[in-house]
């Protein structure tokens, strides 16, 4: 599966009094990167939300390992890959790096849900894309 890269600087809002990026914020960064990936594939959250059978994405579970801290004005890159697909879920590996240094390692499972937040099948367009691409 090919990798998508998302690069961004660390702002004051992202840091805490320890002088480093507040841990919860990596989940925000990760979602920005997944959104950007969708965009590069030609999709958007809105596209799926506004379809005849609206579909949203919610994080079902995630695991994060914080290896090294990031600091104000560091430029970070997130590498995003889909590692597995089921009928209603996409499994992501997302790695945050500063240059070559690995800072945070994330595995995130995203589910597709309908308007009542019930699990629903991955939209055809996405499933088709990842079926071809995923190992």
Q: What are the contacts of 46-55 at 24+ separation with CB within 8 A?
A: 48/112, 48/123, 51/123, 53/114, 53/120, 54/114, 54/115, 55/112, 55/113, 55/114, 55/120, 55/123
- CB of 48 closer than 8 Å to CB of 124: no
Whole-angstrom distance, CA of residue 125 vs CA of residue 135: 18
Task: Tell me which of 4, 6, 15, 103 binds its own copies, using CB under 8 A.
Answer: 15
Minimum CB separation of residue 20 from its own copies in Å reads 7
* x/- letters, 68..107, toward its own copies (CB under 8 A): -x-xxx----------------------------------
Nearer to its own copies, 46 or 124 (CB): 46
Query: Which residues in 42-61 contact its own copies (CB under 8 A)?
Result: 44-46, 56, 58-61
Catalytic status, residue 16: yes
Residue ranges in contact with its own copies by CB under 8 A: 9, 11-13, 15-20, 22-25, 27-28, 31-32, 35, 44-46, 56, 58-66, 69, 71-73, 117
């Amino acid at each position: 599966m090919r990798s998508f890269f998302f690069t961004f600087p660390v702002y004051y809002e992202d840091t805490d009094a320890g002088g480093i990026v507040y841990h919860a914020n990596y989940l925000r960064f990760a979602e920005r990167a997944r959104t950007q990936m969708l965009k590069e594939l030609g999709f958007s959250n809105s596209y799926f939300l506004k379809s005849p059978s609206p579909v949203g994405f919610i994080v079902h579970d995630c695991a994060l390992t914080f290896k090294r801290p990031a600091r104000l004005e560091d430029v970070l890159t997130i590498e995003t890959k889909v590692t597995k697909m089921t009928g209603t879920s996409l499994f992501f590996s997302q790695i945050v790096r500063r240059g070559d240094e690995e800072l945070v390692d994330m595995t995130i499972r995203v589910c597709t849900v309908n308007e009542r937040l019930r699990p629903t099948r991955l939209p055809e367009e996405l499933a088709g894309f990842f079926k071809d691409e995923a190992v």
